[in-house]
Amino acid sequence: MQLYKNQTLKVHNSLSGKKEVFQPINEGHIGMYVCGPTVYSNVHLGNCRTFMSFDMIFRYFKHLGFKVRYVRNITDAGHLENDADDGEDKIAKKAKLEQIEPMEVVQRYTVDFHNTLQKFNFLPPSIEPTATGHIIEQIEIIKEILEKGYAYEANGSVYFDVLKFNESNEYGKLSGRKLEDMIANTRELTAQDEKRNPQDFALWKKAEPQHIMRWPSPWGDGFPGWHLECTAMSTKYLGETFDIHGGGMDLKFPHHECEIAQAEASKGKSPVKYWLHANMLTLNGKKMSKSTGNNIYPSEIFTGENDILSKAYAPSAVRFFMMQAHYTSILDLSDDALLASEKGYNRLMDGMENLKNLSTGTKSDFDINTWRQKCYDAMNDDFNTPILIAHLFDAVKHINLIKEGNESISEEDKTLLLNTLNTFVYDVIGLENQSTVKDDSNALNGVMDLLIELRNQARANKDFATSDQIRDKLTALGIQLKDGKDGTSFSIN
């Protein structure tokens, strides 16, 4: 179903700095590339947030009826410790430390990456290419850039000539940086430097004798620069110009800036129509960092085995927490924030369950069609999940009023409401029902049934003191009783 024909979607394009009406290059088809992980360690939560944002975007495009080719790469070579083209390859360094093959490192952490994303209920991308699987394509792009005069060879390495490129193009247009300012704020080159200018970046690096990961090339044994792989893989699978390129804000410069330069130098055209960037995740108000200990892995959140949080949290509760902030805004993770999100998530799941059992009438007091379009309007406004979630809770409020007998809903509207909630909660936001209220805690449900029965008996016997005591004790424990025409139910706040 081609819903996109009836919806006007706007996205924030980092290249223009404005919201723009989204119009794909080819009607009904979308090509989307997202920079994936460098697989030298367990995937951290900040990366998960970025990938989750684009999983949500992928899901919404699919729901609207677009045919989407979503490419998310795996960096398994070429990513040096220092973005200034020095230091060790991150994967090779880990391999040396553990005295194993680099591809063992890659395999171990690629499996971890996939397992973690699966727990968060990610959809797999259409294609997941690797840097090492596209060495030939990267070498061919280097040849093209050399032929166009925008690169030079130096002692077995090849560097991109930023100053030469900037004579006819604009290096820095994505990040808003001026080359003159960059030059003024960089150190002078030393006699040992191979680069002509400090701003130049590696397309191919000569492999020193001790370097484990190496491939033959026209310039000698070496390995590709980190920026080159994404240019090679994105254009191979999506074409010389494609719709969307995504990634974290931290990749805007230099990584994405260099991608643009490489593509324009080799193909003579801008590679991407819309650049989308997801913002960072902080922890207790500070930047996440392994070195300072202000860091937490997804597995530690799911198990509760950490010194930061008070309890374990289900993956869907964490996903719900992430979706409560716009993908372009900074989000701070804390125990209080997760506790609040878990309550909201449970309330949403509770409302969805209650909806299934609602009695219907001849009319509806809730305008489902207007509410439904508000949900689309939120997502059409640059994927505004916080506003969407506010509308979802508005629906839950009406569900509770209907359950309590204070509003009514027709059978037709009940079906439409259920279908719409399933669409946005499960298909678009990507939640699963892992609610702690009614998942597999049969013992809790049994105890609550007993207490509700005892309270009903007390009320029938006009023993209101006992009835109120049961209600108040449960309220103090965070369990709220709700009396409706179909009986008494409970929810955990």
Mean pLDDT of 343-352: 97
Q: Which residue has the higher pLDDT, 475 or 410?
A: 410
Contact (CB, 8 A) for 448 and 489: no
- pLDDT of 216 over the 90 cut: yes
Q: What is the CATH number of domain 3-278?
A: 3.40.50.620
Given a cut of 80, is residue 84 above it in pLDDT? no
Q: What is the pLDDT of residues 101-110, one digit of tens each?
A: 999 999 999 9
* pLDDT band at residue 439 using 50, 70 and 90 as cut-offs: very low
Residue 438 above 60 pLDDT?
no
Tell whether the model's pLDDT for residue 454 goes beyond 70. yes
Rounded Cα gap, residues 239 and 271, in angstroms: 8
Q: Would you place residue 484 in the very low, low, confident or very high pLDDT band (cuts 50, 70, 90)? A: confident
CATH topology for 282-428 is Isoleucyl-tRNA Synthetase; Domain 1 (1.10.730)
Residues 96-124: what's their mean pLDDT?
Answer: 96
pLDDT on residue 187 = 73
Least confident of 19-33, 297-311, 356-370, 478-492: 478-492
Pairing of strands 201-206, 157-160: antiparallel
Q: List the single range of 125-129, 440-444, 488-492 with lowest mean pLDDT.
A: 440-444
Q: What angle do CA 404, 409, 411 make, to 5 degrees?
A: 125
State mean pLDDT over 5-34: 98
pLDDT class of 462 with cuts at 50, 70, 90? confident
Give domain limits for the chain.
3-278, 282-428, 442-492
Q: What percent of the chain has pLDDT over 70?
A: 96
Across the range 211-224, mean pLDDT stands at 95
pLDDT digits (tens, 9 = 90+) for 293-338: 788 999 999 999 999 999 999 999 999 999 999 999 999 999 999 9
Higher-pLDDT residue of 396 and 473 is: 396
Q: What is the mean pLDDT of the chain?
A: 93
Q: How confident is the model at residue 449 (pLDDT cuts 50, 70, 90)?
A: confident
pLDDT band at 490 (very low <50, low <70, confident <90, very high): confident
Task: Give per-residue pLDDT as tens, 147-204.
Answer: 999 999 999 999 999 999 999 999 999 999 999 999 888 777 765 689 999 999 999 9
Per-residue model confidence (pLDDT) at position 185 = 84
Nearest-angstrom CA–CA distance, 15 and 256 = 11
Q: pLDDT tens digits, residue range 249-283?
A: 999 999 999 999 999 999 999 999 999 999 999 99
Q: Percentage of residues in the chain with pLDDT exceeding 90? A: 78
Q: List phi, psi (to 5°) of 187.
A: -75, 165
Q: What is the pLDDT of residue 440?
A: 46
Tell me the average pLDDT across 202-221: 94
Q: What's residue 493's pLDDT?
A: 60
- Whether residue 468 has pLDDT greater than 50: yes
d(CA 45, CA 54): 15
Does residue 455 carry a pLDDT above 70? yes
Written as one letter, the residue type at 70 is Y
